[in-house]
Amino acid sequence: MGGRTVRLSSPDKVFFPERGYTKLDVARYYQAVAPGILRALRDRPTTLERYPDGITGEWFYQKRAPKGMPDWIPTARITFPSGRSADEMCPTEEAAVVWAAQYGTLTFHPWPVRRDDVDHPDELRIDLDPQPGTDYRDAARAAHELRAVLDEFGGLRGWPKTSGGRGLHVFVPIEPRWTFTQVRRAAIALGRELERRMPDQVTIKWWKEERGARIFLDYNQTARDRTIASAYSVRPRPHAPVSAPLRWEEVGVARPEDFDLATMPARFAELGDVHAGMDDHAYSLEPLLQLAARDERDHGLGDLPYPPEYPKMPGEPKRVQPSRARAGKKEGPAA
C-alpha cells in the first residue's frame, strides 16, 4: 500500500454476522475501492464511526485522532460549535483507510473542508431523507427535480450517491469562499425552492411533527460539525451496504440494495470512480445566496432552527417545536 505496511489483528473477527463478513473483508473492500474513497476523503478532517466488535457490539464516533495513530497520517485542527477544538485525522493515502479499518472503522465522516482551510467548505452537501410513508423512489424523484434547480441557479452540478440506507445525497463542489453559516443559508434557499416546486413531496420543516409523508431536505447537515458518510463508506446494517456514487441516469433505476461489500468492488473494477471528475469543478454559491436574500426580503423567510446541541445563533427563530409553542410553553435553553 504505497510502501506502507498495516498489520491487521484478528482478521477473522466477524463484523457482519448475517453475511459472515470479517474485518479482513472490510479491509480488502477498502483496498478494492481505494482511489474512490481517497478522492472522497483526501485532506479532509474525518470522524471515524467505529465498531471494534462488529455491528452487533458497542460503537462510537471517534472525532479526535486516536492515540497511537501513525505519524505519517496528517491531522487538522477543527473547531466545534461549542468553541472546543480537536485534531482529526486527514487521510491522504490508502494505508490510512486500511489502518482505520483495522480499528473497526466502517463509516468515514469527512468534513466538507480541506485541512489547509477548515473554516470554508468546498462542498455543498444535500441530504434527501425519506420520512415515514416515503421511500427511496420518492427521494430519487426529488433528486431529479433538485438537479434542475441546481442548474437553474448558477449552472450548479451535483454528484448523487446513495446514503447506504433509503436516502440520497447530492454533493456540489464549491469555491471555498463562504463560511459554514453562508453555505447553510444557501442550502435553506435551495430547500425552499425545491419545496415550492414539490410541496406535496418535499419539506424543509425541521420539526418532525410538521414533515408528513415527504422527503426532508436536511439543511442542517451543512452546519459546522455535521457530516455525511463519505462515498464508498460501509454502513452498519446487517447486509453490509455501502454509500454508492451514482451517475444521474442511475438515480431511481439502481437501488440502494444493489451496492454492498460484495458487489461494489466489481462495479468499481468495471467503471472506476464515477465521481472522479468532481474535484475538477468549483461552483459559486452567489445565485443561491441571492435567492436567500430575495426570500427574506420579499417573503419574510429568514433563518431556520439549528440542531439542539448548538448554541443559540444570531437570527435563529425560537427553537421550540410548534405543538409546544401552541401550548404556551416557554422555549428551553439551547443544548
pTM of the model: 0.94
Q: Are 95 and 1 in contact (CB under 8 A)?
A: yes
106 closest CA partner among 258, 241, 244, 276: 241
Which cell goes with 280? 475538477
Cα 261 to Cα 20, 67, 163, 271, 293, distances in angstroms: 11, 28, 14, 16, 44
Q: Enumerate residues 6+ apart whose C-beta is below 8 A from 96.
A: 70, 72, 73, 89
> Shortest CA distance to 168 belongs to which of 226, 81, 99, 231?
231
**Residues contacting residue 326 through CB under 8 Å, at least 6 positions apart:** none
Per-residue model confidence (pLDDT) at position 254: 96
Q: Is 95 helix (H, G, I), strand (E, B) or coil?
A: helix
Reported as a single tens digit per residue, the pLDDT across 194-232 is 999 999 999 999 999 999 999 999 999 999 999 999 999
User: Which pLDDT score, from 0 to 100, does residue 329 have?
Assistant: 54
CA–CA dist 49, 62 (Å, integer): 6
Indicate the residue type of 242. Answer: V
b/e 195-224 (16+ beta carbons within 10 angstroms → b): beebeebbbbbbeeeebeebbbbbbbbbbb
Alpha-carbon gap, residue 277 to 275, rounded angstroms: 6
The whole-number pLDDT of residue 301 equals: 94
Residue 187, burial from CB neighbour count under 10 angstroms (0-12, 13-18, 19+) = buried
**CB-count burial class (<10 Å; 0-12, 13-18, 19+) for 4:** middle
Torsion angle of the four alpha carbons 295, 299, 305, 310, in this order, in degrees rounded to the nearest 10: 50
Identify the segments of the chain with pLDDT beneath 70: 1, 327-335
User: What is the residue whose three cell numbers read 473554516?
Assistant: 119
Hey, which residues does 105 pair with through a beta bridge? Answer: 50
**Residue 12, number of CB atoms within 10 A of its CB:** 9
Three-state secondary structure call for residue 21: strand
What is the spatial distance between Cα 22 and Cα 216, in angstroms, rounded to a whole number?
35
pLDDT of residue 283: 98
Dihedral sign computed on CA atoms, order 49, 53, 54, 55 = negative
**What span, in angstroms and rounded, lies between the C-alpha atoms of 100 and 60?**
13
Tens digits of per-residue pLDDT, 107-156?
999 999 999 999 999 999 999 999 999 999 999 999 999 999 999 999 99
Q: What is the pLDDT of residue 328?
A: 65
Predicted confidence at residue 332, as pLDDT, reads: 46
Residue 292 pLDDT: 98
